[in-house]
Amino acid sequence: MSIIKTNDVKKWFGDFQALKGISMEVQEGEVLVICGPSGSGKSTFIRCINRLEQHQEGEIIVDGIELTNDLKNIEAIRSEVGMVFQSFNLFPHLTVLQNVTLAPIWVRKKSRSESEEKAMELLTRVGIPEQASKFPGQLSGGQQQRVAIARALAMEPKIMLFDEPTSALDPEMIKEVLDAMKELALSGMTMIVVTHEMGFAKEVADRVMLFDEGLMVEENTPTEFFDNPQNDRTKLFLSQIL
Amino acid sequence: MNLEFKKSIAWMRENLFSSIPSSILTVATSFFVLGFFRGLFGFAMASDKDWLSVLNNMQLYMVQAYPEEDFIRVWISVGLALVFAGMSIGLWKSTEESSLSEVFSKFLRVSLAFLFFTVVAPTFSSVTDNDGIIQTEESFPMETRLQLLIPSAILVVVFFVLKNLKLNYKFNKSDLLCFYLAIPIVLMWIIKLPTIQLDSSNQRIFPDPLMPIADTTKTPWTIIFGLFLAFYFIGSRFKDSKNIKRTMSISWVLLPLFIFSWIFKKPEIDLPTILGQDIPIFIGIFLIGALTITFINNPVVEKYFSIYLGVLIAITGIALFISIPILLKSALLLLVLFTIVIPAVSSSTKGKRNLIIVWGVSLFTLSVLIRGGSSDTQIIVQQQSIFGGFSLTWLLAIFGTYVSFPLGVLLALGRNSKLPIVRLVCTGIIELTRSVPYITWLFFASVTMAVFLPEGVNFELVVRVLMVTAFFSGAYFAENIRGGLQSIPKGQYEAADAIGMSPFQKTSLIVMPQALRAIIPTLVSSAITAFKDSSLVTIIGLIDFLTIGKVIIGTQSIPVNFVGHDRENLLFIAFFYWIFTFTLSRRSMKVEKRLGLGER
């Protein structure tokens, strides 16, 4: 059963058309990696899925709910979809634990003790339970990104979106974040990952897509995508990146 | 010792005389500072200055025309504030400690200042005599200087030695604060001050005899300090209780309201109105709110909730414009605000029970304050207002900040709102208020405002001034806060959106805390400005702290002649303002430091 379905999604920023009609489906439990050169619309596309950007044409259906201007639908979808950003976007005035418990307490209306227990569980899962009482500013980039993953997971989402989660990290910190993501993928989470980490794509992804100039130019299994690319654009991209 | 000496020489060479230009600058600024203090001390000590014109008028400075038989109310107000302060210092007891040598170094600094004074003070100062001719007189003879020099030098040496013994007893910083506060209280019972005494023919006796401080001053202060200490200890017992801390914070917000509407004002209460009007209104409105909270999860109620809310808002809107008791209007307004947040807060049974308690307490507080505030006062003064002197300055400063800060937050949010009409109105209010000088607004309050008010509605001048002040500083607060809002990166909004927060939660939990923290220095300087600007009310005939010193005392001639003594009063006023603003800015620096903890 497809949990995300998009049909001919188009989006303009002023005169510039960022998305020129994207149609795709994601199955439950699937890990989808989207790659492509910068400006190809891949970030814009996943930001449309939880309405951080508004698409102008086409339809996006997440878990049976269509994204429209209806605030109720948007809130419902946002609580189903977790997101991890390139620049972490942790709340600097709250401790790590407060960052993770904020949404369960205020959005899900769970009790504080229950949320904190769950938060510690999640922080253990991403490997940083000992940092719970620190502020984000006191953590390294890799640790911050893992807190961001825990924060998104605290809402118990069905889908996780990753918008270039490792691009702002020092090379030696990338691995710890990717490990946390791999562990998440193995646990059966539906994931859409925008990334340039081809190693991650090869190892974990069920499907890989290439975006270019607002269009999806290739969609394939990782083995096919890397070993036997069909499109000339894919070949060019892979030759530059590998 | 020798090493230390070498070190300080090295320090001086590095920091004061590192190059020829910096040596010149050091010497020049030192001369400037010395000259400033010489001038100041000379001014203060000249024989034509009558400092008793300040000391003798303390009562006037603080409360102006407030009748003496009701002074107990003033003392209760001060006492309450200090009891609260004691409790809070205990509750938020510092965990830091100072060693004994740090304490001695504080005393060393004080005695050094004293030594500095005795060395620097000029022997001669200029005096203006009755005919306006300036003469030079010897105001600080050498013998006096030597008499003072020896004890102060001894004090400096003693404290210097004590400090360098490096005694390592540790004291809690909050305990130390209480100890420091005890010093003036004890001194009050020991020292004697020159006092104005009149002889049988009502002439002032010269020189002024030294008398102990009046009992009517030192007894209340001692009692208040005793209570302060008692509540300090009570507070430190409960320092782990979050509930008491929360109650304390709310009490601080209510304290000025309570003081000004009940204690200071002495409202005229008539029982029939309370029984026949206040209590029924309280019970009725309370029941409506409580029932809504109880049945909010009932499917039928849930279905018609938005209609109910709409009707409630409409009724309140109409009620504001018809003539019904002001308590009913305010209670309805509170009910609307409360009803809006009910669905968001009350989900569990426990949450509902807590919410009903909060609702009851806040409605009760509102009723009490409105009854006190809207009743006539029993305090009769010849002037129009029972507030004068420092009590007026305080009133304007506290309530000005109090009302204008939330107003500023609302205006800033409104100006950033997506709704065009809200944005337009808020921008309009901000720009209109800021584009007109404060003094113009004061004249508007005193002269023109009555025209704009509906017939029969008339506020006291002080209240009208408070209203324009609230808008005026609110507009400035709003612009400061808007600056803070713009400093929040877009990613914070997106992250809050992505975890499904509602716009209200996003603003109150993510955006506002960060925005306010970013602008604490600007906010404090706005508050200080509001405090100082309150002295402008003098031009519309209100008598504030400054006016007393500048205008009133300078005209006192019977039985003691203080005509022409406004200069020393102005110096005193400047010093008094300085103490408050300096303390405030120091505190804000500490708060800033503490909140900056988690910052990058």
Q: What is the CATH number of the domain that holds B413?
A: 1.10.3720.10
pLDDT, averaged across chain B: 88
Question: Of all residues in chain B, what percent carry a pLDDT higher than 70?
Answer: 97
- Cα B359 to Cα B378: distance, rounded to the nearest angstrom: 31
Task: Specify whether B534 is located in the same domain as B489.
Answer: yes
Nearest to A93 among B347, B491, B514 (CB): B514
Task: Specify whether B62 is located in the same domain as B25.
Answer: no
A201-218 per-position pLDDT tens digit: 998 999 999 999 999 999
The reply to whether B517 touches chain A by the CB within 8 Å rule is yes
The reply to whether B505 touches chain A by the CB within 8 Å rule is yes
- Cα A164 to Cα B491: distance, rounded to the nearest angstrom: 14
Contact of B383 with B552, CB cutoff 8 Å: no
| DSSP reduced 3-state for B127 | strand
- Cα B88 to Cα B253: distance, rounded to the nearest angstrom: 13
8 Å CB contact of B513 and A93: yes
Is the pLDDT score of B264 beyond 60? yes
- Domain extent at residue B30: 1-45
The pTM for the full model equals 0.82
Q: How many CB atoms lie within 10 A of CB B251?
A: 14
Is the pLDDT score of B442 beyond 90? yes
Nearest to B600 among A81, A89, A137 (CB): A137
The position carrying tokens 């969609």 is: A219
Interface test with chain A among B348, B488, B499, by most A beta carbons within 10 Å? B499
Closest by CA position to B196, among listed B569, B560, B568 = B560
Which of A28-37, A78-87, B513-522 bottoms out in mean pLDDT, i.e. has the lowest? B513-522
| Domain tally, chain B | 2
Q: Which residues of A touch B347 (CB under 8 A)?
A: 109
Q: Which amino acid is at B350?
A: K
Task: Specify whether B542 is located in the same domain as B585.
Answer: yes
Q: Which residues of A touch B510 (CB under 8 A)?
A: 91
**Model pLDDT, residue B598:** 46
Nearest to A137 among B500, B501, B598 (CB): B598
∠ Cα A214 A218 A221 (to 5°): 135
∠ Cα B485 B487 B492 (to 5°): 80
- Closest-CA residue of B relative to A50 is B498
Question: B212: which 2 tokens?
Answer: 């102990």
CA A235 to chain centre: 25
- Cα B485 to Cα B479: distance, rounded to the nearest angstrom: 10
Domain presence at residue B379: no
The reply to whether B599 touches chain A by the CB within 8 Å rule is yes
Domain presence at residue B502: yes
Number of H helices and number of E strands within chain B? Answer: 26, 6
**Residue range A101-108: mean pLDDT, rounded:** 89
**Model pLDDT, residue B179:** 93
Is the pLDDT score of B222 beyond 50? yes
**Residue range B275-298: mean pLDDT, rounded:** 89
8 Å CB contact of B492 and A106: no
Closest by CA position to B126, among listed B140, B147, B145, B114 = B140
Contact of B399 with B462, CB cutoff 8 Å: no
Residue A85 vs residues A22, A119, A170, B79, B160: alpha-carbon distances, Å: 22, 19, 16, 54, 59
Which of B44-58, B337-351, B375-389, B402-416 bottoms out in mean pLDDT, i.e. has the lowest? B337-351
Nearest to A91 among B492, B497, B505 (CB): B492
How big is chain B by its Cα radius of gyration, in Å? 29
Question: A142: which 2 tokens?
Answer: 């890799």
For residues A1-17, b (16+ Cβ closer than 10 Å) or e, as one string?
eebbbbeebebeeeeee
- Closest-CA residue of A relative to B346 is A109
8 Å CB contact of A109 and B598: no
Question: Of all residues in chain A, what percent carry a pLDDT higher than 90?
Answer: 57
Is the pLDDT score of A223 beyond 80? yes
Is the pLDDT score of A227 beyond 80? yes
Q: How many CA atoms lie within 13 A of B61 on its CB side?
A: 16
Question: Of all residues in chain A, what percent carry a pLDDT higher than 70?
Answer: 99
More confident: A60 or B204: A60
Q: Which amino acid is at A155?
A: M
Task: Specify whether B38 is located in the same domain as B60.
Answer: no
**Model pLDDT, residue B536:** 93
Closest by CA position to B543, among listed B74, B77, B60 = B60
φ/ψ (deg, to 5) at B137: -135, 160
**Residue range A180-184: mean pLDDT, rounded:** 92
| Peptide bond just before B559 cis, omega within 30 deg | yes
B148-202 per-position pLDDT tens digit: 999 999 999 999 999 888 887 889 999 999 999 999 999 999 999 888 888 888 8
For chain A, the distance separating the N- and C-terminal CA atoms, rounded to the nearest angstrom, is 34
Q: Which residues of A touch B494 (CB under 8 A)?
A: 52, 85, 89
Q: Which residues of B touch A67 (CB under 8 A)?
A: none
Helical packing angle, B173-190 and B215-237, nearest 10°: 160
Band of pLDDT at residue B600, cut at 50, 70 and 90 = very low
Is the pLDDT score of B599 beyond 60? no
**Segment (H or E) for A194:** strand A190-194
The reply to whether B173 touches chain A by the CB within 8 Å rule is no
For residues B293-303, b (16+ Cβ closer than 10 Å) or e, as one string?
bbebeeeeeee
Domain presence at residue B360: no
The reply to whether B600 touches chain A by the CB within 8 Å rule is yes
Q: Which residues of B touch A131 (CB under 8 A)?
A: none
Task: Specify whether B557 is located in the same domain as B581.
Answer: yes
ipTM above 0.90, yes or no: yes
- Cα A69 to Cα A71: distance, rounded to the nearest angstrom: 6
B301-330 per-position pLDDT tens digit: 878 888 888 999 999 989 888 888 888 988
**Segment (H or E) for B151:** helix B142-164
B98-124 per-position pLDDT tens digit: 888 889 999 999 999 999 999 888 888
Query: Which chain A residues have any C-beta within 8 angstroms of a chain B C-beta?
Result: 50-52, 75, 78-79, 81-83, 85, 87, 89-95, 102-103, 106-107, 109, 135-138, 151-152, 154-155
Task: Specify whether B25 is located in the same domain as B60.
Answer: no
Closest by CA position to B250, among listed B478, B409, B83, B88 = B88
From the number of C-beta atoms within 10 Å of its C-beta (0-12, 13-18, 19+), residue B149 rates as: middle
- Cα A220 to Cα A229: distance, rounded to the nearest angstrom: 8
∠ Cα B500 B504 B505 (to 5°): 50
Contact of B461 with B385, CB cutoff 8 Å: yes
Nearest to B499 among A51, A95, A107 (CB): A107
Closest by CA position to B570, among listed B537, B539, B547 = B547
Domain presence at residue B170: no
B364-393 per-position pLDDT tens digit: 999 998 888 888 888 887 766 788 899 999
Question: B268: which 2 tokens?
Answer: 């005229």
- Cα B556 to Cα A26: distance, rounded to the nearest angstrom: 89
Residues 6+ apart with CB under 8 A from A190: A3, A4, A26, A27, A28, A29, A30, A31, A158, A159, A160
**Model pLDDT, residue B346:** 61
Pairing of strands B97-99, B170-172: antiparallel
Domain presence at residue B521: yes
Domain presence at residue B577: yes
**Model pLDDT, residue B342:** 78
8 Å CB contact of A106 and B505: yes
Contact of B237 with B349, CB cutoff 8 Å: no
Question: B197: which 2 tokens?
Answer: 């005494």
Percent of chain B as helix, strand, coil, to the nearest 5: 75, 5, 20
**Residue range B513-518: mean pLDDT, rounded:** 88
Interface test with chain B among A69, A93, A122, A159, by most B beta carbons within 10 Å? A93
Helical packing angle, B242-258 and B390-415, nearest 10°: 110
Domain presence at residue B511: yes
Distance from CA of A131 to the nearest CA of B (A): 13
∠ Cα B115 B119 B121 (to 5°): 110
- Cα A163 to Cα A78: distance, rounded to the nearest angstrom: 15
Q: Which residues of B touch A90 (CB under 8 A)?
A: 495
Q: Which residues of B touch A81 (CB under 8 A)?
A: 498
- Closest-CA residue of A relative to B514 is A93
**Model pLDDT, residue B352:** 82
Domain presence at residue B354: no
- Please report the residues numbered 312 through 351 in chain B whose beta carbons come closer than 8 angstroms to any beta carbon of chain A: 347
Distance from CA of A94 to the nearest CA of B (A): 8
B245-258 per-position pLDDT tens digit: 989 999 998 999 89
Nearest to A52 among B492, B497, B595 (CB): B497
Task: Specify whether B13 is located in the same domain as B60.
Answer: no
Question: B187: which 2 tokens?
Answer: 């001194």
The position carrying tokens 């002080």 is: B462
